[in-house]
């Protein structure tokens, strides 16, 4: 059974949730749509390399399209590119595909509802806010994770960035009025763990939507990146966290006097 020191959990006020591949199984369908745009972008700048959806997912999980495309171009020796039209096109294609393919995952929604009774929930993601909105609506999570508590490395910062840069976690904690150690991050990707750790947030890895054949390697990678422990579902996280917080006031009451 995964463990986290109770003294650490007692300080936590917010659960800071990565979105893609963590709250919903969006990684595979997102890369199906993204690979088409990525390959068109590479062709437009004279790069012959083409990626399947699986190859792109292996290279880019945890990063947004802007960072991925610029990295792939730079690796091929191309640095002077206008990426913004491609960012917009990739966002449109992926958002439409995810909105049409994702469905609610009832065990996740039930566990998050239980966690929300003791912790405030927020989203900290590399993805654009429009993409997040489509995903939360499709998966029935809008009420638990409303727009006011969604933070995007693409849209919420003065300069867009991507995990593993810790900027989006630092911004989220500052906006929520908490110290980093008061936000427990939940991440499925190494880039996300490094982002949270870099900001000073404790992190739990989550393998729920990681492909079964990739779980053993991902578990080791998440721990090596700084995750305190790794769970295989949101219910397992609830079973880990809720007993420690059982005697605490409900989430809204606990934070009623805090900066929000």
- Domain limit, last residue, from 71, 101, 131: 101
Residue 167 tokens read as 């900027």
pLDDT surpasses 50 at 260: no
Global pTM value:
0.87
Structural domain ending residue among the three candidates 57, 80, 101: 101
Predicted confidence (pLDDT) at residue 259 exceeds the cutoff of 50: no
- Would you say residue 260 lies in a domain? no
Asked whether the beta carbons of 254 and 247 are under 8 A apart, the reply is no
Q: What is the pLDDT of residue 6?
A: 92
Residues of the chain with pLDDT > 90: what percent?
Answer: 90
Q: How far apart are CA 38 and CA 42, in angstroms?
A: 6
Least confident of 1-5, 141-145, 151-155, 167-171: 1-5
Domain identity same for 129 and 183: yes
Tell me how far apart the alpha carbons of residues 115 and 234 are, in angstroms, rounded to a whole number.
9
Residue 95 to residue 134: CA distance in whole angstroms: 6
pLDDT at 250: 77
Q: Mean of the pLDDT values across residues 190-215?
A: 97
Q: Does residue 253 register a pLDDT over 90?
A: no
Is residue 233 assigned to a domain? yes
Q: Are residues 14 and 48 in the same domain?
A: no
Q: Are residues 88 and 120 in the same domain?
A: no
Taking a C-beta distance cutoff of 8 angstroms, is the pair 138, 98 a contact?
yes
In a domain, 259, yes or no: no
CA distances from 202 to 129, 138, 225 (A): 24, 29, 12
Domain count of the fold of the chain: 2
Q: Are residues 81 and 139 in the same domain?
A: no
A 10 A CB-CB count for 74 gives: 11
Q: Kindly indicate the confidence band of residue 3, based on its pLDDT and cuts at 50, 70 and 90.
A: confident
**Residues 122 and 163 reside in one and the same domain:** yes
Helix (H) or strand (E) holding 217: helix 215-225
- Which of 101, 129, 158 represents a domain boundary (last residue)? 101
- The answer on 170 and 92 residing in a single domain is no
- pLDDT above 80: residue 254: no
Same domain, 57 and 109: no
Please state, rounded to an integer, the average pLDDT across all residues of the chain. Answer: 94
Asked whether residue 1 is assigned to any structural domain, the reply reads: no
User: For position 187, which CATH number holds?
Assistant: 3.40.50.1000
Going by pLDDT thresholds of 50, 70 and 90, the confidence category of residue 256 is very low
- Return the pLDDT at 242: 96
CA distance 226 to 205: 9
Domain that holds residue 203: 6-26+104-254
In terms of domains, do 73 and 147 share one? no
Specify whether the CB–CB gap between 26 and 98 falls below 8 A.
yes
Q: Tell me whether residue 40 is in a domain.
A: yes
What average pLDDT does the segment 81-88 reach?
95
**Spatial separation of the C-alpha atoms in residues 37 and 15, rounded to whole Å:** 33
| 138 and 166 assigned to the same domain | yes
b/e 189-225 (16+ beta carbons within 10 angstroms → b): bbbbbbbbbbbebbbbbbbbbbeeeeeeebbebbeeb
Residue 188, domain member (yes or no): yes
- Higher model confidence: residue 196 or residue 254? 196
Instruction: Encode pLDDT of 32-52 as tens digits.
Output: 999 999 999 999 999 999 999
Same domain (yes/no): 77, 143: no
- My answer on whether 114 and 187 are in the same domain is yes
71 within domain boundaries: yes
Q: What is the mean pLDDT of residues 148-164?
A: 96
226 in a domain, yes or no?
yes
Q: Are 88 and 167 in the same domain? A: no
Question: Is residue 67 over pLDDT 70?
Answer: yes
């Amino acid at each position: 059974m995964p463990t986290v020191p109770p003294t650490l959990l007692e300080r936590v006020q917010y659960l800071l949730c990565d979105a893609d591949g963590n709250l919903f199984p969006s990684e595979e369908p997102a890369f199906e749509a993204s690979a088409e745009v990525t390959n068109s972008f590479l062709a437009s700048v004279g790069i012959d390399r083409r990626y399947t959806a699986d190859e792109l997912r292996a290279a880019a999980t945890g990063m947004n399209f802007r960072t991925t495309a610029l990295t792939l171009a730079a690796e091929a020796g191309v640095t002077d590119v206008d990426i913004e039209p491609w960012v917009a096109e990739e966002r449109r294609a992926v958002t439409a595909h995810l909105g049409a393919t994702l469905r609610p995952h009832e065990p996740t929604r039930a566990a998050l509802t239980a966690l929300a009774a003791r912790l405030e929930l927020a989203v900290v993601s590399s993805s654009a806010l429009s993409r997040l909105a489509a995903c939360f609506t499709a998966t029935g999570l809008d009420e638990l994770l409303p727009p006011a508590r969604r933070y995007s490395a693409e849209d919420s910062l003065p300069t867009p960035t991507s995990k593993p840069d810790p900027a989006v976690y630092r911004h989220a904690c500052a906006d929520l009025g908490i110290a980093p150690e008061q936000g427990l991050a939940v991440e499925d990707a190494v880039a996300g763990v490094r982002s949270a750790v870099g900001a000073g947030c404790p992190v739990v890895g989550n393998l729920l939507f990681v492909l079964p054949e990739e779980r053993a390697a991902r578990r080791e990678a998440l721990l090596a990146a700084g995750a305190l422990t790794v769970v295989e579902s949101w219910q397992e996280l609830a079973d880990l966290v809720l007993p420690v917080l059982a005697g605490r006031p409900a989430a809204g009451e606990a934070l009623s006097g805090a900066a929000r």
